[in-house]
Homo-oligomer: A and B are copies of this chain.
Amino acid sequence: MPPDLAAQPAPPPASGPPLQDLRWTLESPLVLQSGETLSPVTMAYQTYGALNAARSNAVLVTHALTGDQYVASTSPITGKRGWWEDLVGPGRIIDTNRFFVICANVLGGCIGSTGPKEINPATGRPWGLRFPVITIRDMVAAQVRLVDHLGIDKLFCVIGGSMGAMQVLEWATRYPQRVFSAVPIAGSYRHSAQNIAFHEVGRQAIMADPDWCHGNYLEENKVPKRGLAVARMAAHITYLSEVALHRKFGRRLQDRQALTYGFDADFQVESYLRHQGYTFVDRFDANSYLYITRAMDYFDLAQENGGILANAFKGTPVRYCLISFSSDWLFPTEESRAIVRALNAVAANVSFVEVESDKGHDAFLLDEPEFHQTLQGFIDGSAEALGLGARAAKP
């Protein structure tokens, strides 16, 4: 159990040294959606703050495709601050002086949880492509076990953006009695054809790299760097809006006064993309990229409910807050709106805000005042409704 931050005299700095890495291995195998059984399953996770006596103040944060468990503390891998420290931490909207925050690396991931790069104890070799295809449902099933292990019956809130939003929806629809409030941000109830297409480009780029070795690169002591970098570059474009790219780079040249009439990175945007691609390969596993994108592609909450999305929410007691961003073209507002319509159809408790932002999909990771205000209002209101008391005034 982490130290009780609430008991400390002053909140620690937002970005302190890395916390101790937490690991827990499920006591029994996990039966996957595919019907396969996976064992052992280890979950790598972080917690922040302290669980209250009533065990009612837990917030589960679910991460996106290339995210990790370091939501509010420095990543020991990249040395960068937690990816959502703007939102999560002492005195923040998800106040770790008040809430017990849990964030776990997803099943299939590569930051410590069981995934294709880990050793399969049955063979003594990395799983590679012998790892079973997992789904969002499987990711959440593993999280449920972890939450059980932490002694939490009901989460105060499950919150996440992008693929995180898919996990939130899975939690809230499959385990409605275990979730008080749910905040799917910049997400969807199913992956669109265009999004599957972009993922397929990424997978094909990885598989086209001879160093991928049909998935066996770890055993071959190789890394499919070029393929993974190309996959990341293509994906990265989809995370930004055209306006954001234009404002950030426009057609400005990179460290030169004139075009060079060659294939070097003449333009800043090229240099930026290459950097995004080639730094990504140092922190991410190519096979994990295949598995996690596949899990997103497979997600379809409507199809699972006879094609009628509202059926997923029938009789739900969960308080929902949907948030989308106006310039997000990867998970456009229309996708969130479809969820809101389905929730309205079953008279569920739902708030919805489309945040005006020109920063594209990545806005959910950025300091967006309207987003943060919306979230603050929802979290505080939900905490009061649950009887967690009003928020302390800011220091």
Interface residues of A (CB under 8 A from B): 34, 36, 129, 132-133, 190-194, 196-198, 200-201, 203-205, 207-210, 226-227, 229-230, 233-234, 237, 240, 242, 245-246, 248-251, 259, 261-263, 265-267, 269-270, 273-274, 277, 290, 294, 297-298, 300, 303, 329, 332
Is A245 touching B197 in the complex (CB atoms < 8 A)?
yes
> Could you tell me the distance between the alpha carbons of A249 and B195 in the complex, rounded to whole angstroms?
12
Is B208 touching A229 in the complex (CB atoms < 8 A)?
yes
Is B230 touching A204 in the complex (CB atoms < 8 A)?
yes
Is B203 touching A246 in the complex (CB atoms < 8 A)?
no
For the complex of A and B, list the 8 residue pairs with the smallest distance between their C-beta atoms, beginning with the closest. A208-B226, A133-B261, A34-B261, A193-B245, A194-B242, A200-B270, A193-B269, A193-B249
Q: Which residue of B lies closest to A200 (CB)?
A: B270
Is A193 touching B250 in the complex (CB atoms < 8 A)?
yes
Contacts of A248 in B (CB 8 A): 193
Contacts of A205 in B (CB 8 A): 205, 208, 230
> Could you tell me the distance between the alpha carbons of A344 and B269 in the complex, rounded to whole angstroms?
31
> Could you tell me the distance between the alpha carbons of A251 and B248 in the complex, rounded to whole angstroms?
34
Nearest-neighbour CB distance to chain B for A220, whole angstroms, equals 15
Is B270 touching A197 in the complex (CB atoms < 8 A)?
yes
Contacts of A204 in B (CB 8 A): 226, 229-230, 233, 273-274, 277
> Could you tell me the distance between the alpha carbons of A304 and B74 in the complex, rounded to whole angstroms?
47
